[in-house]
Amino acid sequence: MIRRLFIFFLLGLLASLAPSSANAQVYSTGPAGLARQMPTIYGPYLANISRVRILQKRGKLNSSPGSTSKRPVGQKPTNKPAGGLPAAPDTSFHASVPPFVPQQLAARLGKSQQERQYIEGVLTKCLNFYIDTAVQKGVPLNDVALALNYFISTNYFVYSLGAGPTPGQMSATRDLIRANMAEDDAFRRMSDKQKQEAYETLIVLAGFVDLGYGTSKQSGDTNAATQFREMAKYNLETLLGAPIEKIHFTNDGLALN
């Protein structure tokens, strides 16, 4: 399972991809400046994912006895692929088109061609890192439940300054998310392309937060690190529809109370 993800990943990536100071306007303050502006663009993406996926079953996120899932929440199927993760036919999709979210977000965020290329390059690196790591670890690709678990866990890790979640808490959360998603009628009605958009969005936003926060911490830029932590908070609250004070992990998985 993919766990911490980018804290030590390519610390020079953002600097090497950043536009030159002569041409950079919107992002002249660096990645932290981009982090401040990104939520105004991708907020609706997260809101849509939240409504489709777990909003109507949010109360079951931390309550297995009352779950209506056909399989008891937290119980893993017997057929497991490489990597030890449960098979996930109910939350996966067929990639009908090449990756498109990095370019889509870059087109909306960038004020110039150079800025758009910069943003697309960073977000594509985040997406490719997730894919490459998943392949190496035998983790199934094209699974929205796994992408969602990655998103929540990564943002929580950054916001909590590394206080959690533990691998066991992540595993429990993964099973809870899958149980909810597998029974969500709205999710089942989504087209493969819509599921792919959700999948890519969750991955690139989580990766960007982790990469930016890790790079800022390594370079000693506390102001930038604070900005990425605020972005992580926004991501969690927007997706889960709860204030950060009510979002935490237990041994049974994610809890909202």
Q: What is the pLDDT along the chain (257 residues), one digit of tens a residue?
A: 333 333 333 333 333 333 333 333 334 445 666 677 677 678 777 766 765 445 334 444 444 333 333 333 233 333 344 445 544 448 999 998 999 999 999 998 888 899 899 889 999 999 999 999 999 999 999 999 999 999 999 999 999 999 989 999 999 989 888 888 888 887 888 899 989 999 999 999 999 999 999 999 989 999 899 999 999 999 999 888 889 999 989 998 888 88
Question: Would you state the pLDDT for residue 1?
Answer: 38
Question: Would you state the pLDDT for residue 31?
Answer: 63
Question: Would you state the pLDDT for residue 177?
Answer: 87
Contacts of 3 (CB under 8 A, 6+ apart): 153, 167, 170
Question: Would you state the pLDDT for residue 187?
Answer: 84
Question: Would you state the pLDDT for residue 13?
Answer: 33
Q: Please check whether residue 183 is in contact with residue 72, taking contact to mean a CB–CB distance below 8 angstroms.
A: no
Which one, of 147, 145, 4, lies nearest residue 76 by Cα?
Answer: 145
Q: Please check whether residue 142 is in contact with residue 95, taking contact to mean a CB–CB distance below 8 angstroms.
A: yes
Q: Give the C-alpha separation, 15 to 76, whole Å.
A: 42
Question: Would you state the pLDDT for residue 199?
Answer: 95
Whole-structure pTM value: 0.77
